[in-house]
Amino acid sequence: LLPALILFHYDLLNTMMALPLGALCVSLTDLPGPLHHRRNSMLASIAINAIVVLIAGVSRNHPWLIAIEIAFFGMFFSMMG
Q: What integer is the mean pLDDT of 62-74?
A: 87
18-65: pLDDT as tens digits: 667 777 766 766 678 888 888 888 788 778 888 888 888 888 888 888
Burial annotation 23-38 (CB, 10 A radius, 16+ → b, else e) = ebeeeeeeeeeeeeee
Burial annotation 62-80 (CB, 10 A radius, 16+ → b, else e) = eeeeeeebeeeeeeeeeee
Angle at 5 between CA 78 and CA 71, to 5 degrees: 30
Is it the case that residue 80 has pLDDT exceeding 70?
Answer: yes
Single out the residue of 10, 33, 11, 7 nearest to residue 20, CA to CA: 7
Q: Where are the domains of the chain?
A: 1-30, 35-81
Single out the residue of 47, 51, 42 nearest to residue 72, CA to CA: 51
